[in-house]
Structure 1
């Protein structure tokens, strides 16, 4: 039981620490508003992570890999990444004082963005569909509801720990930087979102070509 929890905890850290759209959005929000908006992105992403985790561990994740479901999710994700790229590039043109703005509107927007990025990420579907059908790889030959519950708990605990660690790290880094660096960060995040959209579109095209 403890081994399963620790394994899920470590897998959760690897899953959350991997660079991607959520991490880029955390940086862009933290560069402007500090700890709270950065944390809001991370917490928002947990909503999607939790949903995909539950569906994957229940085995429903395999059904979500069907093209009729996976393709619309992928298209929505690509469109949202493109919008974030444009939004971050526009934000880079707006002058502001780092950490000295009203963070309430930022927190709400960051929470929504984190949720959308996670819910429209087709990689989450594949990740949890694979784990949901491969519990034997972590030492459980015939998993029951209790095993799934322990695995899910381990993953979510590590995700919550990562949320606070990542947000605090971003806050401490950008607290010492001025608008010039924040502007460059927004531009870099815009480029990152654009690249992620391109990579997602390329992956979707390849998947469609294989099916055809």
Structure 2
């Protein structure tokens, strides 16, 4: 069991440390509000991670691979990324000369962003759908409930630890930034969100639309 816990712990670090939309949103919230909003984004993403983890490890992986479930989730994620890109660009154009004080509403907004980014990320679905049926690769031929609980505990333990580490790094790197630096950071986040949205749309096109449009035509039988 200790080996399984350690494997899940390491996988959790690899999964969460990969740069992406959640990390960009952590920077966007942290550059203005500091440690707490950045941590709120990370905690919010854990809600979505926990949801897909429970579904994947509970054996719902096959259900998550159904196209009519993954496609709308991917569309919703792309739309939200586009909205974040627009919102970040608008924030960059506002007066950022004075640091906005931390408020409960700001923390809730950061938490909500983390939740939505995690839930609407189709890569999370694919990751947990595959992992739910890959326990055998860890030497567990017939996993039982205790194995799933140990794996989930290890993954979430490293995820919580990474949340504090990531928020702390962001808070230190962007501690008391100037107005120009804040504006540049917001614009950079906007570009990242836009590129992620385009990449998500392209993946959806290649996976669900392009194969249908390029399907081979049925053979023509000539009658002599």
TM-score normalised according to structure 1 size? 0.96
Provide, for residues 110-165 of structure 1, a one-character-per-residue CA deviation record: whole Å limited to 9, x for no partner. Answer: 00010000010011000001110000112212110000000000000000000000
Tell me if structure 2 keeps the 8 A contact 1:56–1:132: yes
> Which is greater in Rg?
2
Give structure 1 stretches of 5+ with no counterpart.
none
| Inter-CA distance 43–99: structure 2 relative to 1 (3 Å threshold) | farther
Cα pair 2:13 2:159 within 8 Å, conserved: yes
Provide the TM-score with structure 2 as the length reference. Answer: 0.91
Over the residues paired in the alignment, what is the CA RMSD in angstroms?
Answer: 1.3
Query: Which stretches of structure 1, 4 residues or more, deviate above 3 A after TM superposition?
Result: 97-100
Give the aligned partner of residue 208 of structure 1: 208
String of CA shifts for 1:174-193, please: whole Å, max 9, x gaps: 11421211111110000000
1:31 match: 31
Q: Tell me which moved more, 171-180 or 142-151.
A: 171-180
CA shift, 1:209, in A, is 3.7
Aligned length: 212
Structure 2 unpaired stretches of 5+: 213-224
In structure 1, the partner of 2:108 is: 108
Partner of 1:86: 86
Mapping 1:13-162, distance limit 5 Å: 13-97=13-97, 100-162=100-162
Contact 2:61–2:133 (CA<8 Å) still a contact in 1? no
SS at structure 2 position matched to 1:175: coil
CA contact (8 A) 1:56 1:128 kept: yes
Q: How far did 1:95 drift? A: 1.9
Residue 77 of structure 1: how far off its partner (Å): 0.4
